[in-house]
Amino acid sequence: QKFVYRFGAGKADGSAEMRELLGGKGANLAEMSNLGLPVPPGFTITTEVCNGYYANGKKMPEGLVDQVDESVRYIGETVGATLGDATNPLLVSVRSGSRASMPGMMDTILNLGLNDETVEGLAIRSGDRRFAYDSYRRFIQMYSNVVLDVKHENFEEILEHYKHQNGYDLDTDITADDWRTLIEQYKAVVQRKLGKPFPQNIEEQLWGAISAVFDSWNNARAIKYRELNHIPESWGTAVNVQAMVFGNRGDTSATGVAFTRNPSTGDGRLYGEFLVNAQGEDVVAGIRTPQNITEVARVEAGSDKPSLETVMPEAFKEFVAICHTLENHYRDMQDIEFTIQEGKLWMLQCRNGKRTTPAALRIAVDMANEGLISREDAISRIEAAQLDQLLHPTIDPKAKRNILTIGLPASPGAASGEIVFSPDDAEKLKALGKSVILVRNETSPEDIHGMHAAAGILTARGGMTSHAAVVARGMGRPCVSGASALRINAELKTVTASGVTLKEGDIITIDGSTGQVIQGEVAMRQPELTGDFAKLMEWADVVRRMKVRTNADTPRDAEQARKFGAEGIGLCRTEHMFFDTDRIMAMREMIVATDTDGRRTALAKILPMQRQDFIELFEIMQGLPVTIRLLDPPLHEFLPHGHTEIVELAQSLDIDPATLRARVNQLTEQNPMLGHRGCRLAITYPEIAEMQAAAIFEAAVEAGKRTGKPVVPEIMVPLIATKKELDIIKDIIVRVANDVQLATATKIDYQVGTMIELPRAALRAGEIAETAEFFSFGTNDLTQTTYGISRDDSGAFLGDYLKAGIYSADPFVSIDTVGVGELVKLASERGRATRDKLKLGICGEHGGDPASIAFCETIGLDYVSCSPFRVPVARLAAAQAAI
Ligand code: ADP
Ligand code: MG
Ligand code: MG
């Protein structure tokens, strides 16, 4: 079996395609060799060996030693040196390298092959004692740290002490004899710590290093990194053994790191840094301030240290040419490591460079314009979810942050404002033109108006799927939830964190992308869909099949969504319109009424307000489709619960508090999520549906007149389980539609459809489609009812489920394709079998999740609907799904 793949001298056993077996570093070293680039020769021990090593209780497989020995000889022959030879020693690096790039997470050892004897050989042969001793001390430090577990600090302490004693500033001040003295001190530390000397046997060093690299696959850093980046443990790491080239060989030598384009802005010019007379990670470690590679960058940075372009013009020219070769070859921005030894350039690594989101957009659009990649490639290159970062005001990265505490990053974006502790105060101050941050222990549906009025929401309790978090995301309000260090005193209107007590009116800033809570105001950047971002969206729109609509309850949401390119409203939740202070009174009057007449009187007050809402929405949407859902939540959500509030309400409604309390109690449910809600309300109180239908149709006529674009409302009945429910409610809607058409002498095109959000409805979709003209999958409730889990309570155990691997993702964030998704698929098929033009969409939170959107594409939905701020994410994800 082949455990080892060689590279160097213009050819290689492997190639870039073999990254699973050779790791990213090994595969690209092979590829660069095949391209004829100057790569120091070496070989890669495969990831399979790593996996076997772990499977066999950390034993190396039989036959590996022979293959490694042979390949070490190959390296030696290629460079003309021999490992362990006292007069002409070969030095190698032993480098980690997994399939996915895990920068700095695993270990690498440089200058292996040195001991007390070979270092003298190196000194004589190179004619540079300082270089030889510098290399040896580096090796002792790295090897001790990685293999022997004697930490860096031990050596750094000695070095610092020595420099101080001798009045040295920089490592470059240290002479050959100094290093020799230090080497003795370094070895003494190892002897003291381990009770045995630093290993002089070079075979032992080599195998110690190889095992250590395998072991570093499971160091704490690497494990954490894999967890955060969803990298499976089973991938393993490869080990690369490679002839050393020396950037620490005097003033004609250097080492550096470069990106073929700027990784933070996407600017198309080469960007990088280097150090003269240095090795390996000196650049990154910040031992000295590195120099710019290009002269342009040096001038822009205002640096007085010369660029590589001026100090080593020949090597620079070759390097620039290689950068072009690599970018054209990989068709992506490259992150490159190189070393120059005595004027000769060597390539040590290349990979697709990590970049910020703005840089990713710019690079993708530029490369497509340059003809390097196709527009489809450009679209596929951007991770849809990361666009979210660009769609909210964000804190200026240069701004100073006085952090009070950190909670959960529940809804992205940042906001500054005055602290308020109640939704009513939020509304009042907003009306005065103030920006406010609503600070609560937690929020409930009654707080909606205050959440809407607030620029941002901060809660002490609740997780990422708490009410505050979900509603805030829907509204595009920044939110930090679960900031448990906050002590809120709503009575005194104060909040304390980190020993600082703030009162109502004090300014704070929250950063919903990081969870930071910051004292005072901080400079912000506004989001806009312009430039490269807009261009990429344009391309995405050409490619995608599914439409992208928005979930919008207010004109403001609708306007925002239009700016982001929404092609209609997929869900307008009418209940959110009732939480406004003046409206909720009429709503409460309706709920408290004991008979139909009483309810009708109250509803008559609501009708004009509701009509006005719809007129505004329809006007903004300019004839684009608008799906309006009839009243959904249980009525008790509109009623007050506290004693004083009930008494107050009774007074203003002019009824007996006891009667009101009785009504409140009567409406209270054990399990409201599965209670008297959705279409069940319209079955019991048809007059509610009547009023809503009238408001919708009258508004459609009016808005159609104003805009000159006919409105085609889509009326959506929530939570049906049976066809019969929909039949009854559709009859009401049709009757009202006829009345309005007659009264206004206007023909209205409209559709009546339903949300599919109960498993029974999904199963009976075939017959429901006889009545329904469209389905919208309400996957929030469908997930709750399919799993039998209340989303609001799932926080208590979801973490355990994820950790135990029972769920691979939160099913409320990314659709469970095989369970809930299966129901969606089946309902789509059964629905379309009955009515082949049946319009199908999704309006749960999943409608803005890229993985869920990809699933929607596979089952042929017509559109996805998501919150306004997710619309660009959905446009891109839908395009990617169609490619
Ligand atoms: P990481 O994955 O952490 O970047 P690397 O294996 O790339 O680790 O190596 C760390 C540093 O050592 C890099 O700067 C690299 O360029 C340098 N290096 C690795 N191998 C050699 C070598 N054979 N000759 C000179 N420098 C090397
Ligand atoms: Mg590297
Ligand atoms: Mg629902």
User: Hey, where are the domains in the chain?
Assistant: 4-243, 254-355, 392-525, 544-634+669-882
Dihedral of the alpha carbons of 158, 163, 164, 167, in degrees to the nearest 10: 160
Ligand 1 contact via 242 beta carbon (within 6 Å): yes
Task: Tell how strand 414-420 and strand 436-440 pair up.
Answer: parallel
Q: Which residue has the tokens 């060799």?
A: 33
3-state secondary structure of 95: strand
Q: In what order do the strands lie in the sheet with 403-406?
A: 403-406, 516-519, 507-511, 414-420, 436-440, 456-459, 479-481, 408-411
Q: Which atom of ligand 1 lies at the shortest distance from residue 108's CA? A: 6
Shortest-distance ligand to the CA of residue 249: 1
- Which regions of 294-435 does DSSP assign to beta strands (E)? 334-341, 344-352, 394-395, 403-406, 408-411, 414-420
> Does residue 781 have a known ligand-binding role?
yes
> Does residue 487 have a known ligand-binding role?
no
Q: Which residue has the tokens 């013009």?
A: 313
Ligand 1 contact via 337 beta carbon (within 6 Å): yes
Q: Which residue has the tokens 């480098």?
A: 95
Question: Which residues fall within 8 angstroms of residue 198, CB to CB, at 6 or more apart?
Answer: 140, 143, 144, 148, 186, 187, 190, 191
> Does residue 767 have a known ligand-binding role?
no
CA atoms within 13 A on the CB side of 169: 1
Task: Tell how strand 494-497 and strand 500-503 pair up.
Answer: antiparallel
pLDDT of 285: 63
Instruction: Kindly report the backbone phi and psi dihedral angles of residue 499, in degrees, each rounded to the nearest multiple of 5, phi listed first.
Output: 75, 0
CA of 337 to the centre of ligand 2 (A): 7
pLDDT of 88: 96
User: What's the topology of domain 4-243?
Assistant: Dna Ligase; domain 1 (3.30.1490)
Active-site annotation holds for 467: yes
Question: Which residues fall within 8 angstroms of residue 640, CB to CB, at 6 or more apart?
Answer: 446, 646, 648, 649, 664
What is the residue with the minimal CA distance to atom 14 of ligand 1?
280
Probe ligand 1: pick from 95, 335, 347, max atoms within 8 Å of CB?
A: 95
CA of 627 to the centre of ligand 3 (A): 14
Prediction ipTM score: 0.97
> Does residue 531 have a known ligand-binding role?
no
Q: Widest CA span of the chain, in angstroms? A: 107
Q: Which long-range contacts (CB under 8 A, 24 or more apart) does 726-730 make?
A: 726/679, 726/752, 726/754, 726/768, 726/771, 726/772, 727/771, 728/683, 728/686, 729/630, 729/679, 729/682, 729/683, 729/686, 729/689, 730/771
Ligand 1 contact via 135 beta carbon (within 6 Å): no
Give me the amino acid identity at 61.
P
Write out the residues surrounding ion ligand 2, Cβ under 5 A: 349
Choose among 352, 356, 345, 347: nearest CA to 327: 352
Q: Which residue has the tokens 């342009």?
A: 296
Choose among 823, 876, 836, 773: nearest CA to 546: 876
Shortest-distance ligand to the CA of residue 105: 1
3-state secondary structure of 659: helix
CA atoms within 13 A on the CB side of 654: 1
What is the residue with the minimal CA distance to atom 24 of ligand 1?
244
pLDDT of 287: 63
Residue 406 to residue 497: CA distance in whole angstroms: 10
Q: Which residue has the tokens 């034993």?
A: 59
Give me the amino acid identity at 2.
K
CATH homologous superfamily of 544-634+669-882 equals Phosphoenolpyruvate-binding domains (3.20.20.60)
* Alpha carbon 662 to its chain's center: 48
Choose among 339, 328, 420, 424: nearest CA to 367: 328
Ligand 1 contact via 108 beta carbon (within 6 Å): yes
Taking the chain (883 residues) in runs of 10, the rounded mean pLDDT of each run is 95 96 97 98 97 95 96 97 96 95 84 97 95 96 94 92 91 91 97 96 97 93 81 94 95 94 91 89 70 92 92 97 98 96 97 88 97 98 88 87 90 91 91 90 81 92 74 81 90 91 95 92 86 96 98 91 96 83 84 90 93 96 96 89 86 89 89 93 96 97 96 97 98 98 96 98 98 97 95 83 89 95 98 97 94 98 95 97 96
CA of 280 to the centre of ligand 1 (A): 5
The CATH class for the domain spanning 392-525 reads alpha beta
Q: Do domains 4-243 and 254-355 have the same CATH topology?
A: no
Q: Which atom of ligand 1 lies at the shortest distance from residue 245's CA? A: 24
- Could you tell me the pTM of the whole model? 0.84
Active-site annotation holds for 449: no
Residue 816 to residue 818: CA distance in whole angstroms: 6
Secondary structure of 299-314 as H, E, C letters? HHHCCCCCCHHHHCHH
Residue 233 to residue 448: CA distance in whole angstroms: 44
Q: Which letter, b or e, does each residue of 752-770 get, where b requires 16 or more Cβ atoms within 10 Å of its Cβ? A: bbbbbbbbebbebbbebbe
Under 8 Å between Cβ of 824 and 762: yes
Probe ligand 1: pick from 43, 108, 114, 339, max atoms within 8 Å of CB?
A: 108
Residue 646 to residue 657: CA distance in whole angstroms: 7
User: What's the topology of domain 254-355?
Assistant: D-amino Acid Aminotransferase; Chain A, domain 1 (3.30.470)
Among the listed residues 392, 449, 452, 467, the single catalytic one is: 467
3-state secondary structure of 466: coil
Probe ligand 1: pick from 281, 346, 347, max atoms within 8 Å of CB?
A: 281
Structure tokens at 420: 């308020």
CA of 254 to the centre of ligand 2 (A): 16
